[in-house]
Amino acid sequence: MIGIFGAGKMGEALISGLLRSGYAPSGVVAVVRRPERADELRTAYGVAVLPAAEAAKSADTLIITVKPQDMLPMLDEIAPHVPAGKLDISVAAGITTGLIEIGAAQAVLTGRGTTGFEYQMLYGVRPAEQRRLASTSATVRVYVPYGRDWYRYLVRRLAERPANLAFFLRSLASRG
C-alpha cells in the first residue's frame, strides 16, 4: 500500500499517475486536512482517505507532499508509527536547512540511523547545502532534468510555486 500524505496538486497528480499506471485504488491511501477534499478524492479516484497516524501504520511506502510549513507537524504526528524499513519519500519543495536537520534526527529516532535515508535535490538548487550534506557522509542524489520534456518540467516547477520563478531568475542572473 502506498500512502500519499498531503493530497493537494502534487499529491493528487501522484494518485492519478499511480492509478493510471495500474495500481488499484485499494492500494493507495491519502491523508488530507479538509473533509471536503477527502470526499473529492474518494469520489474522483476511489481511494481511502485516513488520518495520518492510521495511514502511516498501514502503508508500506509513505510519500509526503505537504507544504514546507506543514512538514514538521506531519513528521511529529507520524514518527511513532513509522518503523525502520518503511520507505519514506518527501517531495516537498522549499524545505529549510533546519527542517532537513529535524528530518535527519527523526530518521535516527525511528531506528533508520544516518544511512537509512537519502536526500534528493535538483541540480543548481542550494548547491552549498548539497555539498554540506555530502560532507557529512549522507547519501545525496542530485537530479538534472533532461530529455524532450525538460522545458515542460521546468515550467511546471515554476508554476507550482511562484517563489520558484524569483529563485530561478536570481540564480540565472548570478551566474553571469
Nearest CA to 69 among 165, 172, 163?
A: 163
Predicted model pTM: 0.63
Element at 107 (helix H, strand E): helix 97-109
Partners of 48 in the beta sheet?
29
Show me where the domains of the chain are located: 2-113, 146-176
pLDDT digits (tens, 9 = 90+) for 111-120: 766 677 778 7
Burial category of 98 from C-beta neighbours within 10 Å (exposed 0-12, middle 13-18, buried 19 and up): exposed
Alpha-carbon span 4 to 59, nearest angstrom: 9
Average pLDDT over every residue of 132-140: 84
The grid coordinates listed for 43 are: 469520489
CATH architecture of the domain 2-113 equals: 3-Layer(aba) Sandwich (3.40)
Predicted confidence (pLDDT) per residue in 16-60, tens digit: 888 988 889 999 999 998 999 999 999 999 999 999 999 999 998
